[in-house]
Amino acid sequence: MMSDQFTDLCEFYALGMLDGEERVLFERHLAEGCADCRAGIEKAIELNEMILSATPRVEPSRNLRRRVLAGFGHPVKEPRRALRWTFALALAAALILAFAAAWNFERRERLAGAAELARLREIQQILEAPGTKQVTFGPQPAEPHGSIFVHEKLGMILIASGLAAPPAGWTYESWLVPKDGAPRPIEAFRASGGRGMSLLPPSLPMSDLKAVAVSLEPADAPVTKPTKLVFAAPLG
Amino acid sequence: MAELYDKYGGLLYSVILRSVSNPSTAEDLVQETFLRIWNRVHTFDVERGRLEGWMVTIARNRAIDYLRSLRSQPGESATSLEDLEHSGLFVTRETEAERLTRKNAVGAALDSLNESQREVLELTHFQGLTQTEIADRLQKPLGTVKSLVRSALKILRTSAVEAGGAR
């Protein structure tokens, strides 16, 4: 069991309140890889979280929400990484992130924060990966058109514009269309302002895929095959 | 990110405002906090991590960094707060319900602290003062300051342990 002295040091360190020689000595001790102190610091940090979380709530202005979300239209990137991007891809990524924020804002289904975080993280990884390629489809503005961001191992992001509002009781569904075999349903998604986005996992090797498709499906029925095909975007 | 903001934005704003006492500055720091979260989210283990804890710690640290910059002391004598928000420090094996129980117990225990204990916790958690700075601010011996912080944290830690079993 950790002595009271080290418990104190861990708790004071976790608050950032150690200073002077005491801080230097303790940080030197930590650098030696003391597992007990590391565990002590983790416990201290957790206690600090609970104290912070007990803060009485004060509501921010409504404008703050808009400000924060708007900021994700211009994500901060490390300069070195940004240099690896083509300008077009960087611009597209910024637009997608802004759209992702707006899209989530309008979702009726409330996802848990962690689930949304995981999804956004997947999107970010695909957009930032050096091997990501952009495939466009539907050159006619009056028809569904947009882009698919493709990464061999991480999956794809489908961004479609020109989508009509689905009839009541229907929803859009994304599909992976293999070169051989039946299309595979991926996920239902909403179209807002004519635009929709779907995250497609790397469930099949890219070399086995022919297209990404979107269909309209009855919202309450099981999805087995496309009911009303909206478009199919070739991948190669 | 909208969902994250809706779930945690009010808490982060409240913590930051308590530190900086200026709504406009607090809003700037909330925005900075969310950008930092976004830029580091790839390091966070969504399945095993304490998301709220990680976010509220980042928010607190942004406020403290700001206050330290105002004090013309960029924390040279204190621990770098970035070292204390590494996502690996926020792993848990608890369920959400268990964590909530302990959090509520700590919240209730805060009310049982005496005035001196509350005062030092305000300075440590929300003003980011080092122990020497607190002693100077309160005109109290360093040993007294340490003793106050120690006793306050012990009450809170005990309440958390009792609420969570023999953790």
Considering the domain architecture, whether residues A173 and A227 belong to the same structural domain is answered as yes
Q: Does residue A61 sit within a domain?
A: no
Residue A174 has pLDDT above 80, yes or no: yes
Query: In the structure encoding, which two tokens stand for residue A208, read together?
Result: 């086995």
- The residue of chain A with its CA nearest to that of B135 is A17
Considering the domain architecture, whether residues A41 and A76 belong to the same structural domain is answered as no
Considering the domain architecture, whether residues A188 and A224 belong to the same structural domain is answered as yes
Number of domains in chain A: 3
Answer yes or no: do B56 and A125 touch at CB < 8 A: no
Q: Does residue A11 sit within a domain?
A: yes
Q: Which of helix, strand or coil describes residue A209?
A: strand
Considering the domain architecture, whether residues A188 and A142 belong to the same structural domain is answered as yes
The domain boundary residue, chosen from A128, A155, A177: A128
Q: Which of helix, strand or coil describes residue A145?
A: strand
Q: Does residue A191 sit within a domain?
A: yes
**Domains of chain B from N-terminus onward:** 1-93 (1.10.1740.10), 94-167 (1.10.10.10)
Using an 8 Å CB-CB cutoff, list chain B residues near A27. Answer: 79
Contacts of A202 (CB under 8 A, 6+ apart): A151, A152, A153, A154, A155, A156
Q: What pLDDT is attached to residue B115?
A: 94
pLDDT tens by residue, B18-67: 999 999 999 999 988 988 888 787 777 777 788 899 999 999 999 998 99
pLDDT tens by residue, A88-145: 555 555 556 655 655 554 443 344 456 666 777 777 778 777 788 888 888 666 788 8
pLDDT tens by residue, A217-235: 988 788 888 999 999 999 8
Considering the domain architecture, whether residues A49 and A79 belong to the same structural domain is answered as no
Considering the domain architecture, whether residues A222 and A162 belong to the same structural domain is answered as yes
The domain boundary residue, chosen from A87, A110, A128: A128
Q: Does residue A59 sit within a domain?
A: no
Report the complex ipTM. 0.91
The domain boundary residue, chosen from A91, A106, A128: A128
**Dihedral class, residue A146 (left if φ above 0, else alpha if ψ from -120 to 50, else beta):** left
Residue B17 has pLDDT above 90, yes or no: yes
Interface of B with A in 66-125 (CB under 8 A): 75, 77-79, 81, 84, 89-92, 102-103, 106-107, 110, 121, 124-125
For the stretch B110-118, contacts whose Cβ atoms lie closer than 8 Å and that sit 24 or more positions apart, written own/partner, are B110/A51, B110/A54, B110/B156, B112/B155, B113/B152, B113/B155, B113/B156, B116/B148, B117/B148, B117/B151, B117/B152, B117/B155, B118/B152
How far apart (Å, rounded) are the C-alpha atoms in residues A171 and A173? 7
Q: Does residue A58 sit within a domain?
A: no
Considering the domain architecture, whether residues A26 and A77 belong to the same structural domain is answered as no
Considering the domain architecture, whether residues A139 and A224 belong to the same structural domain is answered as yes
Query: In the structure encoding, which two tokens stand for residue A73, read together?
Result: 């239209």
Q: What pLDDT is attached to residue A222?
A: 82
Is A117's Cβ below 8 Å from some Cβ in B? yes
Considering the domain architecture, whether residues A104 and A120 belong to the same structural domain is answered as yes
Host domain of residue A72: 66-128
Alpha helix (H) ranges present in B1-130? 2-20, 23-40, 51-70, 96-110, 115-121
Considering the domain architecture, whether residues A122 and A138 belong to the same structural domain is answered as no
Is B44's Cβ below 8 Å from some Cβ in A? yes
CA distance A56 to chain B (A): 7
Q: Does residue A60 sit within a domain?
A: no
What predicted TM-score, i.e. pTM, was given to this entire model? 0.60
Q: What pLDDT is attached to residue A207?
A: 86
Give the amino acid at B137: R
Considering the domain architecture, whether residues A146 and A192 belong to the same structural domain is answered as yes
Considering the domain architecture, whether residues A156 and A90 belong to the same structural domain is answered as no
Is A57's Cβ below 8 Å from some Cβ in B? yes
